[in-house]
Structures are given as C-alpha cells and as structure tokens.
Structure 1
Amino acid sequence: MATVHVLVLALALAALVLLPCAVALIICAEGPIKRIRRRLHRRRERRTLQRLDRTLGTHAVQIETLDVQQQPTIQQIAADLRRLDRQRLGVATQSRVWYAAVQLAYDDRLRLASRCLGVDEHLAQLDGVDLEIERVRVEGELEAAGLTLRRQDH
C-alpha cells in the first residue's frame, strides 16, 4: 500500500512541475507554428504558380514577336480557344491569378484568330466592361467567319 502512495505522490509532483512547463511550451510554440504555416502557404502558392507557368508557358504567345514561320495554324488557334474557354469556366474560377492569366491567353488567341481571318478587333486597347463587350463581339465575328469556338455536346 505504501508503494501505491509513493507512486501517486510522485505522479502528483511530476504533474505539478510539468504542467507549467507544458503551458509555457504551448505559449512559446505559437511563433514557430505560425512560421511553419506561412512557409507551407508560400510553398503551396509557389507550386500553384509553377503549375500555371507550365500550363500557360507552352501556349502563351506574344503576337508582336510572331513571324510568318512561327505562326500557329488556324486549327491550332481554334483548339487553344476552345481549351482556354473551358478553363475560363472551370479551373480559372478557383483563383484570381488563374482567371487573369487564362483571360490574357484567351485574348491573345482571339487576336491571333482575328488577324488570320481578317476580323477587326480592339482587345488590347480596352478594359473592364468594354473589354468584355469587345470579346463577345469578336467571338461572334469569328464564329460568323466559320471558326468554331465552343463545341456543342449532343
């Protein structure tokens, strides 16, 4: 019976000594925990941006730097427009950065298609609602010229 009392007394003393240490550890660990969370968040953002670069890097084209030999075919441009249109309605809605990047790539491809088909466009000069209206107008002109921008699933 005496050993049980000694054991209980030892556990009580250990709890009495270790409890303040545990509280201090929890309070002091708040800073490192925040740093770890911040680091993980930055790493996640960096991976997202790298994925965006990989996705758009192969398709982003500066219109001014294209010459006749490098210019993609109208079929490639149409396929890019359909893919980017799907992304504008899907993946791009999850992030402002993705949405802006996809919109820029989509507008670049609209300008390329307009140049190939002789459609007048003013996408580079506009912004906001005017840009949205011009985008819809150019899409309509391109479709009237025979370019299929959206696939209809039957």
Structure 2
Amino acid sequence: MLLALVILLVVCLPAAVVLVCCGDDRLERIAGVWPRWRARRRERRTIAGLDRAVDADTLTRDIDLTEFDRPDRRPVEQLAADLWRLRAYRLGRGGRPVVWPLLLIQAYDERLRLACRCLGVPEHLTELDGVDREIERIRVEGALHAAGLLLPAATTDHRQRHR
C-alpha cells in the first residue's frame, strides 16, 4: 500500500508543482467565468424586459427593411435634420427671410414623404391641398414622432417664437 502511495505521489508531483506555480492564473480564469456569465445573463434579461415593455415587434412589423438596404436611400438621421431645418425656415426662424415659401413647403413635404417611406408610416400628402394638406402634415409629423423620429411639435414652435 505504501508503494502505491509513493508511485501516486511521484506521478502526481509534477501536476501539483504546475498547479502551485500556475494555479493562481487558472483559479482567476475559473473565478472570472461566473461574473461574466452573470453580466451577460443580466443584459439579456434587461433587453428582453425592454422588448416586452416597448413591444418592439409590433413597432417594427410594418417597416420594410429592404428600404434600408438601397444604396440611394438617404439616412433617416439626415432626413430628420433636414426636416428640423426646413421647418425652422418655414416658420421664419432660420435666420434668413423666406424667399420661396412654396418651394420650401414642397421640400418639407418631400422630406416627410421620404421619412414616412423609410419608417413605414402611411401618408397622403400628395393627394391633398390647402387646409387638408396642413392637417395631414401635422398628422404625419405625429405619426413619425410615434415611430421614433423626433420632430419639432406645434406646441414647441409657439414657445420658441417668444423667447
């Protein structure tokens, strides 16, 4: 029995030396697995909770994703910046006098149509005129805002004008 213990000690001695010399590195790797796993699990649960709270599937169900892959498509961020700038000019807050109000409104409506097409929001701006078109423009701005594209609201225009 003593001979078996001596043979086992001789066979296991190199492994014991390696474990003592490099054990801290191995122990650190093994101990680091648990916090990383916990952090990944927490992130997945947070994302799943946000998806349930926002109901992301119903928000993105009507969006045509092939529209985003076209090489000639303008980025949504650029469309939003154009809409902000054109709306400011249209309301006379752009720093310069509005020389071509009709062309400005047409450019604004065109950017609204592009943004609607990118985000899958229905619009009828081309079919309407006059007050009906203005009402549709306000409805489209609200629908784009609900889809996540932040646009200046009519209430903020009033406050900004009197600053």
TM-score w.r.t. the length of structure 2 is: 0.48
Deviation at 1:92, TM superposition (A): 10
In structure 1, which of residues 118, 121, 128 is the aligned counterpart of residue 120 of structure 2? 118
Cα distance in 2 for residues equivalent to 1:92 and 1:129: 27
What count of residue pairs does the alignment treat as equivalent? 86
Residues 131 and 93 of structure 1: CA distance in aligned 2, closer, same or farther (over 3 Å): farther
Q: What TM-score comes out, normalization by structure 1 length?
A: 0.50
| Aligned residue in 2 for 1:140 | 142
SS in 2 for 1:111: helix
C-alpha distance after superposition, 1:79-102 (max 9, x if no partner): 00001011101159955x511011
Conserved 8 A contact 1:92-1:99 = no
Unaligned residue ranges in structure 2 (runs of 5+): 1-68
Shift of 1:69: 1.2
> Alpha carbon RMSD of aligned pairs, Å?
2.5
Q: Distance in 1 between matches of 2:109 and 2:95?
A: 14
Contact preservation (8 Å) 1:117, 1:145: yes
Mapped to 1, the partners of 2:139 and 2:95 lie a distance apart of 22
Percentage of pairs with the same residue? 56
Other-structure match for 1:107: 109
User: Do the aligned residues in 2 keep the contact of 1:93 with 1:99 (CA within 8 Å)?
Assistant: no
Residues 1:150 and 2:163 are matched in the alignment:
no
Unaligned runs of 5+ in 1: 1-66
Q: Using the alignment, how far apart are the partners of 2:134 and 2:83 within structure 1?
A: 16
Does residue 87 of structure 1 match 2:97?
A: no
Q: Which residue of 1 aligns with 2:58?
A: none
Q: 3-state DSSP class of the match of 1:106?
A: helix
- Which of the pair has more CA radius of gyration? 2
1:94–1:131 CA distance, 2 compared to 1 (3 A):
same
Counterparts of 1:141 and 1:77, CA distance in 2: 15
